[in-house]
């Protein structure tokens, strides 16, 4: 087995301005996660979210153009207020580890995605470039506008 995942992983971190119990709730309750998951302009339907090791997590992202994107995952590890590991079992195949760390009234989040193989990762990045680049820019603009209104 290859232990070095450097060429097929993504790591993003963020300090969230909310206490751990709120962040955990927003992450683990279907009614909450449906509100923020996916790119801007998408809505989500969570069909299953069985938050326990081996539990299924199925969600459908509805794109702005009416396209539905099925996402199927299996939870691997759940440690209350600390850690969620899930395996994405529909394409693209990857394992996500989300670590939460309470820091007073804030929460530090570490999100680590490891793809099954570098081929898989390259494939995802390659397919992503076609139209998502543009969408992302629109999103960034949206985010910026939201910031201006608040």
Partner 1 sequence: MIRRDVFQAIADPTRRQIINMVADQPLNVNAIADSFDVSRQAISLHIKILVECELLKINKQGRERYCEAKLDQLSEVSSWIDQYRQHWESKLDNLETYLYQLKKERKHGK
Indicate the residue among 54 and 67 with the shorter CB distance to partner 1. Answer: 67
- The Cα 136–Cα 13 span in angstroms is 19
Among 40, 47, 87, 97, binds partner 1 (CB under 8 A): 40
Instruction: In angstroms, give the least distance from the CB of 47 to partner 1.
Output: 19
Where b means 16+ CB within 10 Å and e means fewer, 58-74 reads bbebeeeeeeeeebbbb
| Residue 143 within binding range of partner 1, rule CB under 8 A | yes
Specify burial of residue 94 (Cβ count, 10 A radius: 0-12, 13-18, 19+). buried
What x/- string results for residues 48 through 87 when contact with partner 1 is judged by CB under 8 A? ----------------------------------------
Query: Looking at beta carbons only, is 79 or 138 nearer to partner 1?
Result: 138
Contact 46, 58 (CB under 8 A): yes
Q: Any contact of residue 93 with partner 1 (CB under 8 A)?
A: no
């Amino acid at each position: 087995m290859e232990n070095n995942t450097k060429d097929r992983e993504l790591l993003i971190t963020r300090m969230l301005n909310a206490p751990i119990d709120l962040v955990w709730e927003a992450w683990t309750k279907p009614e909450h996660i449906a509100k923020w998951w996916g790119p801007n302009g998408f809505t989500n339907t969570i069909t299953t979210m069985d938050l326990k090791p081996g539990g299924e997590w199925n969600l459908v992202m509805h794109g702005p153009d009416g396209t539905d994107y099925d996402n199927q995952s299996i939870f691997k590890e759940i440690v209350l207020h600390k850690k969620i590991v899930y395996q994405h079992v529909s394409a693209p195949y990857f394992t996500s580890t989300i670590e939460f760390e309470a820091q007073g009234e804030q929460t530090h989040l570490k999100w680590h995605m490891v793809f099954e193989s570098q081929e898989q990762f390259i494939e995802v990045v390659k397919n992503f470039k076609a139209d998502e680049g543009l969408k992302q820019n629109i999103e960034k603009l949206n985010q910026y506008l939201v910031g201006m209104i608040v």
